[in-house]
Amino acid sequence: MSAPEAPETPAAPAPEAVARHRALFRAIHRRKNPRLRQTDITVTEEAQVKRAVKATALGNAMEWYDFGVYAYLAVIIGKEFFPSGNDTAQTLSSLATFAAAFLVRPIGGMFFGPLGDRVGRKKILALTMIMMSTATLAIGLIPSYASIGVWAPVLLVLCRMVQGFSTGGEY
């Protein structure tokens, strides 16, 4: 019993055939790769492009500034928001909270990506920037562990997760 033969793939046309029917092959090539028409090009005003770039840069700078400040102040944040008298445990808790934002970023991307396709990317970008700003402001307003107890680290982790979720939606 012999193995079944694989179906043959169509070969490229022989050079003689191309030479003989040059006009036909040119027409086929044009159908596969149509020429770019002026109506195919979207023209955007330069002022509108500059405004969009500035807004995106501002949002991105605000986002990364927040991440940088949090990482820089991790030791102080650990002492203010976490209960242990052990400095190492406080710093590790603070850094774990820092990492929580990075862990939810992919979830934000999976949530906001399809939503942006349906609703519009511009609206989703504005929403994620507002979420990021609100969470950043909320972190600044959270009282310390000495004031509200266990709610301080809970609120901090929640706000960091909102920041990460919104960051995932921006990309």
For each of the chain's 171 residues, which pLDDT tens digit applies?
555 555 555 555 556 666 666 776 676 666 666 676 777 677 778 888 888 889 888 877 877 887 788 888 988 999 999 987 888 999 999 999 989 999 999 999 999 999 999 999 889 988 998 998 899 899 999 999 999 999 999 999 999 999 999 988 877
Neighbours of 73 (CB within 10 A): 12
**Residue 80 placed within a domain:** yes
Q: What is the pLDDT of residue 32?
A: 67
Q: Which long-range contacts (CB under 8 A, 24 or more apart) does 69-77 make?
A: 70/98, 70/160, 71/98, 74/98, 77/156
Give how far Cα 71 sits from Cα of 22, 68, 74, 99, 109, Å. 66, 5, 5, 10, 23
Q: How many domains would you assign to the chain?
A: 1
* Locus of tokens 């770019």: 36
Lookup: tokens for 145: 């562990």
Determine the structural domain holding residue 165 and report its residue range. 46-170
Helix spans in the chain (H): 15-20, 22-32, 46-72, 74-81, 87-119, 121-141, 145-148, 151-170
Q: How far from chain centre, in Å, is Cα 27?
A: 42
Q: Letter for the amino acid at 110?
A: M
Residue 50 counted as domain residue: yes
| 24 within some domain | no
- At 33 the pLDDT is 66
Cβ neighbours of 76 (radius 10 Å): 12
- Retrieve residue 99's tokens: 């990492």
CA distance readout (Å), 39 to 30, 33, 42, 46, 82: 17, 16, 8, 19, 60
Q: What is the CATH number of the domain that holds 61?
A: 1.20.1250.20
pTM: 0.66
Task: Say if 6 falls within a structural domain.
Answer: no
pLDDT of residue 103: 94
